[in-house]
Amino acid sequence: MEIDIHTAMLNSYRVIIQKQEPEDIISTELGMFAHDPTDEVKENVIQGILEYFEDEEDYEKCIKIRNYIKEKW
């Protein structure tokens, strides 16, 4: 299976920020993630996701990720 970075980043965003269940994503779409959905989110991983969406210029997601980082750490 080819790795689709965009899909992995979106799926991780949906799980971490939007609180969707990983199982729901896996059952309906490509089940790839930029993080381990069975483990606690690590700061360096969420920073990488933030950088990805900054590069994509998706600033709405960036704001939500920054808020999550501020609340968690």
pTM (global) more than 0.85:
yes
Sequential DSSP letters for 43-55: HHHHHHHHHHHHH
Residue 2: what pLDDT?
A: 61
The pLDDT of residue 29 is: 65
Query: Which of 34, 53, 70, 71 is CA-nearest to residue 62?
Result: 53
- pLDDT at position 31, please? 85
pLDDT tens figures, 23-64: 999 987 688 999 999 999 999 999 999 999 999 999 999 999
